[in-house]
Each structure stands twice: as structure tokens, then as C-alpha cells.
Amino acid sequence: MSTTATLDPRDATLAPSSGERLKSDPAYQAFTLLRIAFTVAPILFGLDKFFNVMVDWEQYLAPWINDIIPGSAATAMHLVGVIEIVAGIVVALKPRYGAYLVAAWLGGIVVNLLTYSGYYDIALRDFGLMLGALTLARLASVYDPPGTEVRF
């Protein structure tokens, strides 16, 4: 019978510190990079829905969606901005769940763009981002197990 212990990344008592993991574990490095990206990007894009510094976001709203939502396209974009900011915060606090939220949100954006001729290139980009968010979710299943405290 062997007495050799194996390190399980979900066991906080035996797992190396975050700093040690960042130095030695490529998967943890990928998890950290994706966590940063899917925290910062949704928050910045969400904030820009109120200021339109990067782009006039209303131009990306498919007319059929604009027809079924109450209020104006500007109001819709403000709501979108709030949802994106919340999604980024959830990724920061609990990537295990926030990554799926961001992936679902990006899936909705892809559907919107595919139904609005002329934005297929952006739909493809957002599809790639959705795959990145799903990758973060899978990595978070190891590095952000359920029931653990919020860590950065």
C-alpha cells in the first residue's frame, strides 16, 4: 500500500498558493488570464453602453428585437450594459458560475447578430469569445470548486 499523496487542486489544504500555481501550472495561468479577460471586457463594454465611446451600440440591435422590446434601442442598450457589468462582476467573484452566464449572454448576442445581415464577422468573433467563456467555465470546475470562498 502506497503512502504517496497526490495533490488535488480542489484540496485547499494541500494545494499550492495562487502565486506558486501562477509560476508553475499552465492550466492555472490560462484560468487566470481568462478570468481577467471575462471580468474586464464585460464591465468595460457594459459601461460603454451608457457613453458610446467605443461605438454606437444601438446599430447592432436587430430590428426584430427592437420591435419586441419595450422602450427605445437606447434603453435596451442601457439594460444590456447593466447585465454585462453584473456578468463581469460575477466572473470576478465566482468564475465557476459567471463564465456560464457570460457564455449564455454571448450566445444571445450571436443569435442577434446572425439575424441582422451585415454583422456576421462580429457574430463569428463573439462565437469565439463564447468558446473562451466556456473554456473558463471548464477550468473553473477545477480551480474554483463549489463551496469555496471568493479568491483572486
**In Å, what is the CA distance from 88 to each residue of 15, 46, 66?**
27, 9, 24
Look at residue 13 and tell me whether its pLDDT is greater than 70.
Answer: no
Chain segment 69-123, per-residue pLDDT in tens = 999 999 999 999 999 999 999 999 999 999 999 999 999 999 999 999 999 999 9
Residue 55 lies in a domain: yes
Task: Identify residue 13 by its one-letter amino acid code.
Answer: T
Task: Identify residue 30 by its one-letter amino acid code.
Answer: A
Q: Provide the pLDDT for residue 9.
A: 54
Residue 108 lies in a domain: yes
How many structural domains compose the chain?
A: 1
Q: Which residues contact 138 (CB under 8 A, 6 or more apart)?
A: none
Residue 148 lies in a domain: no
**In Å, what is the CA distance from 146 to each residue of 11, 25, 68?**
12, 21, 38
**Distance of alpha carbon 5 from alpha carbon 12, whole angstroms:** 14
**Distance of alpha carbon 60 from alpha carbon 12, whole angstroms:** 44
Phi, psi of 33 (to 5 degrees): -60, -45
Residue 149 lies in a domain: no
Residue 50's domain comprises 18-143
Confidence grade of residue 129 (pLDDT, cut at 50, 70, 90)? very high
Q: Which residues contact 116 (CB under 8 A, 6 or more apart)?
A: 60, 61, 62, 63
